[in-house]
Structure 1
Amino acid sequence: MSLPQAIAYTEKTVLAPLIGPKCAHELISLNFSHTACIKLLVSKLLGIGIILGGTILKVPQILKIVASGSTTGISFASYLLETAAYTISLAYNARSGNPFSTYGEMAFITVQNVVILLLILAYGKNILGLFSFLVVFAATSIALFDPTLVSADLLTTLQWSTVLIGVASKLPQIWNNLRAKSTGQLSAITVFLQGAGSAARVFTTIQEVDDPVLLTSALVATGLNAVIALQMVLYWNNRTVAGAQYAKPRSPAQKRKTPKAM
């Protein structure tokens, strides 16, 4: 394949589906005076990056919970409310016909959040709560995606409510961290990736979606994620100490079996 053929192939099969034929032609021709096309390309690439990051965003947190056998420091209320907000936003974006690159990570993060919620309930030996959550989550998801069950107007109202839900979802976690002066079993990788992703989502929302409710949600999420990331930095040296505080005390029998130091 010659260079001109390779350029034409890239324009037609890579850039055009991503940013449209007009912008693809301008950029492949190295015409960088069209800043709108450059911003659109950056937004699309950021969106793809956010989605790829979203596929593994909570995996470090899940692995940390499983490895430690503990959900210490992880707020069930925070994850439950965050999952509710993501589910509503996912349905709102899908039914509004917004580009998948502007919200796709929500689908993957929601699934991972559900896994974490199930782990919290499982480690808490709350089997009834576990099955009740699964039933309610499935029924709610079906209703949100079905226009005959949840109207467009109601869904828009629910989307506005996610701004408040977003605040409520982070406050329990922020309060837990503040009270314990520790971030417990929170994964630093997850916290920082989520903060970076929400900040990038503000840019993609401005560029691709003319929707004030989605922009407001993204801005609020970025601010709250920044607070938790700051707590992660401030309490970094307290995490090991806090973990030890939650360790189960040994029984008298176990203490008798412990050999004395020489």
Structure 2
Amino acid sequence: MTPGEHMGPSPSLLWIIPSYTGAKMVMSLVRNFLVGNLMPEKCYEQIFLTGNVHVPCLKFVLNRIAGFWIILDTFLAQTPQLLKILWRGSAEGLSVASVLLQLYALSCPVVYAVAHNFPFFAWAERLFTLSQTAAILFLIMHHQGETLKGLLLLLVFGGVMFLLARCAATAVVSMMQASNLAAVNASKVFQTITNHQNGHTGQLSTLSVFLTWTGSLGLIVVSLQESGSSFTSLLHILSSGLSFVLLLQVCCSKSSTAAAAATAAPTAAAAKKTD
């Protein structure tokens, strides 16, 4: 090599350059995601660049994550359950009483919003989840051979809720709203008992139960931030505990659930042939 000839990078270092560039790109993507979705840039610098455990920033991030969990629970928790019933063509193991209580609990915020003339966008997501739960209730009764009864039940329930939203006294509507969380907890108790009695969880969706559990954890965080150690916070903690019990039941009874499904399949086929 002549003295004027330029010397390139060492071959042993050539593999490091793309690796460094890739790592830098990944870090940039992570930073953009965190700053855009979970925290302001100031918090990112405090936590990741200076290594400072900034309590207000940590609270801000925790609230953002909790809010994300609550949104997932509100919008998506019922969807996997509905799709599973439609896909499997069965609603075995699902408690009618549990779903009916869910329907009531989801109706309470809608009735309250309509009674107080809230704008539609403020409670539209509740109406979406309510319609999914109503469909689940109808499918359960349909698969139990009570299609007409299920349809009449939904019509009567919808009519009663409409009358309450339009005609009930403010005190009655407020009492319904206050009973919302108690109905949610009672719903989970009924499903837990049904699972225990059956020895399996049937068509109960693992993803739906998981989303409900994470949503209840988010509600605990928000409730503690807003009101501290209140009765409402205790109810949210109870709700989260019941959701976790349901999640354990689903995860621990996979073999018995599969065995029950295998036993039920020939029976269902024979019933169809008889019809």
TM value normalised by structure 1:
0.69
Code of the aligned partner of 2:253: Y
The yes-or-no answer on 1:232 pairing with 2:234 is no
1:218 aligned residue = 236
Which residue number corresponds to residue 113 of structure 1? 133
Q: Does the aligned pair in 2 maintain the 1:144–1:155 contact within 8 Å?
A: yes
Amino acid corresponding to residue 92 of structure 2 in structure 1: T
Structure 2 equivalent of residue 206 of structure 1: 224
Describe how 1:1-262 pairs up with structure 2 within 5 A: 35-36=55-56, 38-40=58-60, 42-92=62-112, 106-146=126-166, 149-151=168-170, 153-208=171-226, 212=230, 214-249=232-267
Distance 1:144 1:206, change over 3 A: farther
Structure 1 portions without partners, runs of 5+: 1-9, 255-262
* Rg (Cα) greater in structure: 2
Per-residue deviation at 1:80?
A: 0.6
CA contact 1:54–1:108 (8 Å) conserved in 2: no
SS of 2:133's equivalent in the other structure is helix
Query: 1:241 offset after TM fit, Å?
Result: 0.3
Letter in 2 for 1:173: Q
In 2 relative to 1, CA 210–247 (structure 1 residues): closer, same or farther, beyond 3 Å? same
SS in 2 for 1:195: helix
- The verdict on how the C-alpha distance between 1:164 and 1:70 changes in structure 2, with shifts beyond 3 A counting, is same
Deviation at 1:65, TM superposition (A): 1.0
| Residues 189 and 52 of structure 1, relative CA distance in 2, 3 Å threshold | closer
Q: Distance in 2 between matches of 1:68 and 1:244?
A: 12
Moved more, 199-208 or 63-72: 199-208
Instruction: Output the amino acid matched with 1:187.
Output: S
* Alignment deviations for residues 47-91 of structure 1 (CA, whole Å, 9 cap, x no partner): 144214432222222121112211111111110111112222455
Q: TM-score, normalised by structure 2?
A: 0.66
Q: How far has the Cα of 1:40 moved from its partner?
A: 4.3
RMSD: 3.9
Structure 2 residues not aligned, in runs of 5+? 1-31
CA contact (8 A) 1:195 1:226 kept: yes
Quickly say closer, same or farther: Cα 1:234–1:27, change in 2 above 3 A: closer
Q: Evaluate the alpha carbon distance shift between residue 105 and residue 226 of structure 1 in structure 2; reply closer, same or farther with a 3 A threshold.
A: farther
